[in-house]
Amino acid sequence: MKRMARFTRAVYPGSFDPPTNGHLDLITRGIKIFDELIVAVLRNPDKGPLFSIEERMEMLQEIAAPLGQVRVEAFDGLLVDYATRHQADVILRGIRAISDYEYELQMALMNRKLNPNLETVFMASAESYSYISSRLVKEVYLLGGDIKDLVPPVVQQRLKAKIPV
Distance from C-alpha of 160 to C-alpha of 120, rounded to nearest angstrom? 35
Q: Using CA atoms, how far apart are residues 89 and 13, in angstroms rounded to an integer?
A: 13
Is 130 tagged catalytic? no
Among 14, 19, 94, 152, binds ligand PNS (CB under 6 A): 14
Q: Which stretch binds ligand PNS (CB under 6 A): 4-12, 13-21, 59-67, 124-132?
A: 13-21
Is residue 86 annotated as part of the catalytic site, yes or no?
Answer: no
- Tell me if 83 sits within 8 A of 51, measured CB to CB: no
- When asked if residue 74 is in the footprint of ligand PNS (CB under 6 A), the reply is no
Does the active-site annotation cover 23? yes
x-or-dash pattern for ligand PNS, window 33-62, by CB under 6 A?
Answer: ---------x--------------------
Binding letters toward ligand PNS, positions 84-123, x by CB under 6 A: -----------------------x--xx------------
Does a cis peptide bond (omega within 30 degrees of 0) precede residue 116?
no
CB-based contact 147:154 (threshold 8 Å): no
Q: Is 78 in the site for ligand PNS (CB under 6 A)?
A: yes
Q: Is 99 a catalytic residue?
A: no
- What is the amino acid identity at position 28? T
What single string gives the DSSP state of each residue in 22-86?
A: HHHHHHHHHHHH-SEEEEEEE--GGG--SS-HHHHHHHHHHHHGGGSSEEEEEE-S-HHHHHHHT
Q: Show which residues are catalytic.
A: 23, 47, 96, 134
Interface with ligand PNS by CB under 6 A: which residues? Answer: 13-15, 42, 78-79, 107, 110-111
